[in-house]
Structure 1
Amino acid sequence: MILLVPADVLRPHRADEHFAAEADAARAAGMQVALVDHDALTRPDGAEHAVRAVRTSGMAYYRGWMLRAEDYAAFAAALRRRDVTLRTSPEQYRRAHELPGWYSSVAELTPQSAWTVGDDRAAFDRVRHQLGPGPAVLRDYTKSMKHYWHEAAFIPELDDADSAWRVAVAFRELRGTDLTGGFVLRRFEHFASAEVRTWWVDGHCTLIGPHPDTPEDLPGTDLDLATVGQPIANLRLPFITADFALRADGVWRLIELGDGQVSDRPKNVAPETLITTLCSDFSGPTTASPGTYETNLPPTDLKSP
């Protein structure tokens, strides 16, 4: 098995610092490691240049920065011409990476959502009416602007058309050319915990830990994998992450689902632990026990929010 990671921009023969520890862990586990040029992957017709340093063949996982679905497809095609096959196909990547691809399979686990194709006001107003009155959170198919919560994420009342559109305009301006797909409106829910990030290989939860935004704030240990596992397994995706938070009424809710190749690893989850989850794909599935946090912290450091 091959691990593909971005090369350092200034030292192209070395792995990007953000992924260097995972590359080292992969080599120690017996995997081959190859470097790709992420910047080239994001340019038109840049995929062939991006993979020029890949000189091995076989099945591969990518661990790197987020890619648009169309750039990932070009990446996969360039690798196939070198006899390298990404474990996650372009179609699987899009389904995991973009909310419309995964929403229907897990709708009962996650806030009610509606989305546009494109970013014009008429389409926005249609989905605003579709969702109905009340507060909502705005994002696009792949990302929110939660760090601009009041300006470009939270809509206090969808029936207030002009105020809602002002948030949408601010979001569109902040996302710029990175805006993907269209607007997504998600019913606002009150959450009472930090998020927990779960990692899934072929429908099996292999790793549970904190969210990268709150690595020291570990949630409680009562996430019921039996309840959430089947809808996620039904997606039939090879490597994904699913982020959960505890709603104010005590119910765990799915906040986000994403392709595991471009999901960030919390700093207190050992790179060796993540690489082990990928190796399980080739040695048979392993499943994390409900409430087990696979981190490099001692058990006494686990705490409820």
Structure 2
Amino acid sequence: MLLLVPADPLRPTRPDEHFAAEARAARDAGVTVAVVDHDALARGGAVDRAVGRVPEDDDAVYRGWMLRAEHYAGFASALARRGVGLRTGAEQYRRAHELPGWWADLAAVTPESVWTEGPGRAGFDEARRELGAGAAVLRDYTKSVKHHWHEAAYIPDLADAEAAWAVAARFLELRDDEFTGGFVLRRFEEFTGSEVRTWWVGGECVLTGPHPDSPHDVVGSPSLEVVAPVVGKAGLPFVTVDFALRADGAWRVVELGDGQVSDRPVTMVPEALVAALFAV
């Protein structure tokens, strides 16, 4: 089994510094580590060269920066030409990485959501009317800009068409070329406390800890009764599920993401994640 990580752009034979600790932990555990050219993969070109340092004829797990689903598919195909199989296939990656791929399965425990195809105003207005009046949170298929909360994430009332579109226009401006799929409007729910990130391998929750945005916070233990069967049945090999406690005391799913491109909080030792990943 291989661990694949992005190469340092300035020292292309070495792991990117952000993933170097996980690479060292994997090597110490006897796992072979290889680097890939993330920038080439993210451009969608020269993919065979991007994986040229990967040993042939093995199975692999990726831990690295986000890739668009279509670029991940190109990554998987280039590896397959070397006889290397990614534990997470291209279709599995898209389902985990993009909200429309996982929302319906978790609808009972996550905010109501509607989405568009593309960034057009007409589709946005149709989705806005479908969700109905009230507050909402805006994102695209893969990401929000929550650090620009009032200008590009939070919509106080979807019934105010012009004010809602002003938020969407600012969101588009900030996301720019990284805008993915379409707009996603999510019913606003008031959360308290810090988010909890849970890590799942082979349908089993293997680690629970803080979200990378608040790595030093003490977090609670969300209820997994509803989520566990869904993750188990979905056939998603490696995912994260982020939870937050709603003001009424209910644990809610904020996000499901592909674990390969989910950040690890600095307070989680890399050995713990490596051990969970390669124990299966």
Q: Do they superpose with TM above 0.5?
A: yes
The separation in 2 between residues aligned to 1:226 and 1:131, in whole angstroms, is: 27
The separation in 2 between residues aligned to 1:105 and 1:193, in whole angstroms, is: 25
Aligned to 1:268, the other structure's residue is in SS state: coil
- What amino acid is aligned across from residue 72 of structure 1 in structure 2? Y
1:20-39 equivalent positions in 2, closer than 5 A? 20-39=20-39
Q: Hey, what does 2:209 align to over in structure 1?
A: 209
Q: Hey, what does 2:140 align to over in structure 1?
A: 140
Structure 2 regions of 5+ residues with no counterpart?
A: none
- What amino acid is aligned across from residue 50 of structure 1 in structure 2? A
* Residues 218 and 57 (structure 1), Cα distance of their counterparts in 2 relative to 1, 3 Å cut: farther
Q: Hey, what does 2:234 align to over in structure 1?
A: 235
Aligned to 2:185, the other structure's residue is in SS state: strand
Q: Hey, what does 1:6 align to over in structure 2?
A: 6
Shift of 1:220: 1.9
- What amino acid is aligned across from residue 271 of structure 1 in structure 2? P
Q: Hey, what does 1:55 align to over in structure 2?
A: 55
The separation in 1 between residues aligned to 2:242 and 2:8, in whole angstroms, is: 29
Are the equivalent residues in 1 in contact too, given 2:44–2:74 (CA < 8 A)? Answer: no
Q: Hey, what does 1:290 align to over in structure 2?
A: none
1:129 and 2:142 aligned: no
Shift of 1:211: 0.2
Aligned CA RMSD, in angstroms, stands at 0.9
Aligned to 2:193, the other structure's residue is in SS state: coil
1:55-74 equivalent positions in 2, closer than 5 A? 55-74=55-74
Q: Hey, what does 2:97 align to over in structure 1?
A: 97
The separation in 2 between residues aligned to 1:227 and 1:89, in whole angstroms, is: 25
Q: Hey, what does 1:17 align to over in structure 2?
A: 17
Shift of 1:179: 0.3
The separation in 1 between residues aligned to 2:127 and 2:98, in whole angstroms, is: 17
Q: Hey, what does 1:302 align to over in structure 2?
A: none
| The 10-residue stretch of structure 1 (60-69 or 211-220) with the greater mean CA deviation from structure 2 | 211-220
Q: Hey, what does 2:224 align to over in structure 1?
A: 225
The separation in 2 between residues aligned to 1:228 and 1:218, in whole angstroms, is: 22
Shift of 1:82: 0.6
- What amino acid is aligned across from residue 145 of structure 1 in structure 2? V
Are the equivalent residues in 2 in contact too, given 1:140–1:180 (CA < 8 A)? Answer: yes
How many corresponding residue pairs?
A: 280
The separation in 1 between residues aligned to 2:218 and 2:154, in whole angstroms, is: 25
Aligned to 1:19, the other structure's residue is in SS state: helix
Percent of pairs identical after alignment?
62
Structure 1 regions of 5+ residues with no counterpart?
A: 282-305
Are the equivalent residues in 2 in contact too, given 1:138–1:155 (CA < 8 A)? Answer: yes
Shift of 1:202: 1.3
Aligned to 1:162, the other structure's residue is in SS state: helix
Shift of 1:225: 2.1
The separation in 1 between residues aligned to 2:44 and 2:9, in whole angstroms, is: 18
Q: Hey, what does 2:243 align to over in structure 1?
A: 244
Are the equivalent residues in 1 in contact too, given 2:118–2:181 (CA < 8 A)? Answer: yes
Give the TM-score taking structure 1 as reference length. 0.90
The separation in 1 between residues aligned to 2:56 and 2:78, in whole angstroms, is: 13
Per-residue CA deviations over 1:263-296 (Å, capped at 9, x if unaligned) read 0000010000000111122xxxxxxxxxxxxxxx
Moved over 3 A (4+): none
The separation in 2 between residues aligned to 1:184 and 1:54, in whole angstroms, is: 36
The separation in 1 between residues aligned to 2:180 and 2:262, in whole angstroms, is: 17
Per-residue CA deviations over 1:206-259 (Å, capped at 9, x if unaligned) read 1101000000112123x2222331122232200000000100000000001100
The separation in 1 between residues aligned to 2:80 and 2:15, in whole angstroms, is: 22
The separation in 1 between residues aligned to 2:76 and 2:99, in whole angstroms, is: 21
1:152-167 equivalent positions in 2, closer than 5 A? 152-167=152-167
1:70-85 equivalent positions in 2, closer than 5 A? 70-85=70-85
The separation in 1 between residues aligned to 2:45 and 2:103, in whole angstroms, is: 31
The separation in 1 between residues aligned to 2:156 and 2:46, in whole angstroms, is: 42
- What amino acid is aligned across from residue 127 of structure 2 in structure 1? V
1:187 and 2:154 aligned: no
